[in-house]
Structure 1
Amino acid sequence: MPLPDKDATTGVMGAINAFGNFLTPTIYVGVLSFLAYVIGMLLMVDIKAGSVIRLGRRLSLPYISRSDLDVINAHIESAFHRARVRRVNGFEIEREFRLRSMIDGEGEYQIFHTENQGNERMMDDEWREYSLKELRTPVSEEIVQSIPSLAIKLQDKNPLLYGSYDRDRSESEFRLSIAPPIAMLSAQFIILGMDRTLTLWPWAGYIGLIAVVALVVKGFQKRFSSVNVVVTALEIGTIESQMISRLEAVPADKYDDKPEPASA
């Protein structure tokens, strides 16, 4: 089978060669730029603050800084401390949040009752600590996942803080959204630069890739900054998590704390 003749000027190969000659590097760039734009739109990541950034089904990227997670955990511990001070009923916490039951059946309850010598306060103290331990992870996950809805609450409670959150979020979205198309264009410049007549094109591609790295880094910094605004508002009490508000509403135990009358 004869190989295609790149010098042919007639027939089908002549038309293909003529079309190839028409496609100058500038037109190549124009076509590939459009393809990069389309690919960028298809690969646009979910960058809503507080949600997981996913690239495909399995790969996820960090969405909240370690320092903000520490602040959230400290906020949860403060809420748990208030629950202990109020002596919130452990069984009511378990029932309110549908936690795994500490006691399964009458037999386990009798053992539990015997171990605490029938002391209701000791029993409830242990039940409360168990319920709070079981509640810690769900509360932390709920706060992180509800950061977008907490930001909406912040819009009503403190418009200035919400403006800071919205500005950082918008800058993060812009930078992370334009990074994929620029990466595609940069790769195309490097490929086109393999032709010795286009010696400057690879350098344009390398500079573009450096710009992509800077955009991604700055995008994540702004993303973390937007989340930090919401976490700070949570820390200072401007807004509150739904689950912590539910914990605050759980009734406390009613013990008779009246002092005994002094003996004569």
Structure 2
Amino acid sequence: MLAQILPGFRDFRTPLVAGYLWLIGAWILLGMPVPSSETKTGLVGIVNGIGSYLSPTVSLVVLSFAAYFVGMLASPDMVATMWFWNRRFMKTRKKVAEHFRKPTASKKKFTKLRHSLSQLDRLDHPGMNLDLTDSILRLCLDNLDEAKRKNVSWVPIIEYYMIPEKFQTGDWKDFFNRLAEELAGSLEDEIRNLSAPLQAANEKLYNEYDRSRSEADFRINIILPINFVALSIAWSLWQTHFWLAIAAMVVAVIVSMRLYQQARRKLIDASEVAFAAVRESLVKPKSLERVRSLDKVPSDSRD
């Protein structure tokens, strides 16, 4: 029963804590007003009138619901945002890298830049590290090798990933590597969203995956409200205690960096659990099944 309750509690905890932080920040920003219980008019009067009929416990429940609601509205999905912008960066980097790999008259001039770009080829995504990225790529290569041995038709997967014609008509190795990159990218995207298939396949692995993802979500989604609280404190102290205001912002930055590092580590843990399920065939991602379902072609076709 506890195992069934915990996932729901993890989902509830993040917006609740984030909402309380947003409310605390707003309270500080407004000058930390303390409403009088004697007020009978306005919004405070309405709250006092309702509060007179409620016990402290019920009042706390109402406040928590308000904080939860604020947390849901004011806290974006930071994990998804991390993946989105990292993916955009990687695509832009790839285009720039391909441009500077083209033969140019000033080839030596761009040697250092091309080297830097080649190092960025190894840049890992949030939720991935280099070891896990390499393992995913090896798994994709193994599946492509198996398909190649079966002499399959690559047309469906070429059309799906929109492989440029220069790779189709060029060297087989370039075509194979480009296909492996596209397949690995699709598999990485699937690995970070394997919650439902993993729950159906293996409850124990799902609990490990869900725990790590929830811890990552919690840490990354309280970074913004923590900085809002720090900004509110700094704003209220700016005129009277300048250095305390600066200290509040510095502490917020340090805490944010630490939370980000912890969140990234938890995302990697979750991705490793999901990849283990894929590797052991407990979960069958669509990207790999797309390769495994390719039809054979006559032996005189490309191999």
Q: How far apart are the structure 1 equivalents of 2:187 and 2:219?
A: 26
Alpha-carbon distance in 2 for matches of 1:49, 1:160: 28
Residues 195 and 231 (structure 1 numbering): CA distance in 2 closer, same or farther, change over 3 Å?
same
**Residue 15 of structure 1: aligned partner:** none
Please, which of 157, 160, 181 is the counterpart of residue 225 of structure 2? 181
Instruction: Identify the match of residue 263 of structure 2 among 216, 219, 228.
Output: 219
* CA-CA distance at 1:169 after TM superposition: 0.9
Unaligned runs of 5+ in 1: 1-23, 104-111, 113-125, 256-264
Task: Give a deviation string over 1:182-241, Cα, whole Å, max 9, x none.
Answer: 112112323333344697665455434332222222122212221221122222332232
Name which of 104, 127, 146 aligns with 1:64.
127
Structure 2: segments with no counterpart, 5+ residues: 1-26, 35-65, 92-123
Name the counterpart of 1:147: 191
**Alignment-mate amino acid for residue 155 of structure 2:** E
CA separation of 1:25/1:49 partners in 2, compared to 1, >3 Å: closer, same or farther? closer
Q: 1:211 to 1:143 in 2, by over 3 A?
A: same
> How much is the aligned-residue C-alpha RMSD, in angstroms?
4.3
Aligned length: 202
Q: TM-score, normalised by structure 2?
A: 0.53
**Which piece of structure 1 moves more, 60-69 or 138-147?**
60-69
**1:199-238 to 2 correspondences below 5 Å:** 203-238=247-282
Q: Which letter does structure 2 place at the counterpart of 1:179?
A: I
| Alignment deviations for residues 154-202 of structure 1 (CA, whole Å, 9 cap, x no partner) | 1111111111111111111111111111112112323333344697665
The match for 2:146 among 82, 91, 95 is 82
TM-score between both structures, scaled by the size of structure 1:
0.59
Distance 2:244 2:280 in 1: 54
One-letter identity of the residue aligned with 1:188: S
Encode CA deviations 1:76-121: one digit per residue, 9 max, x unaligned: 01112222333x23xx222454265979xxxxxxxx9xxxxxxxxx
What aligned pairs does 1:67-146 form with structure 2 within 5 A after superposition?
A: 67-86=131-150, 88-89=151-152, 92-95=153-156, 97-98=158-159, 132-146=176-190
Cα distance in 2 between the residues matched to 1:134 and 1:58 = 18
Would you say 1:240 and 2:272 are equivalent positions? no
Q: 1:44 aligns with which of 70, 76, 94?
A: 76
- For 1:95 and 1:205, the matched residues in 2 are separated by 53
- Residue-by-residue CA offset, 1:43-78 (whole Å, 9 max, x unaligned): 624414994257xx9899942323221111010011
Find the counterpart in structure 1 of residue 4 from structure 2: none
Contact 1:190–1:201 at 8 Å: present in 2 too?
A: yes
Aligned runs of 1:162-177 on 2, under 5 Å?
162-177=206-221
2 CA distance for matches of 1:176 and 1:149?
A: 17
Contact persistence 1:165–1:230 (CA under 8 A): yes
Query: Is contact 1:192–1:198 with CA below 8 Å preserved after alignment?
Result: no
Give the 3-state SS of the residue equivalent to 1:143 in structure 2: helix
If you compute each CA radius of gyration, which structure gives the higher value, 1 or 2?
1
Mapped partners of 2:207, 2:271: distance in 1 = 13
| C-alpha distance in structure 1 between counterparts of 2:214 and 2:133, whole Å | 22
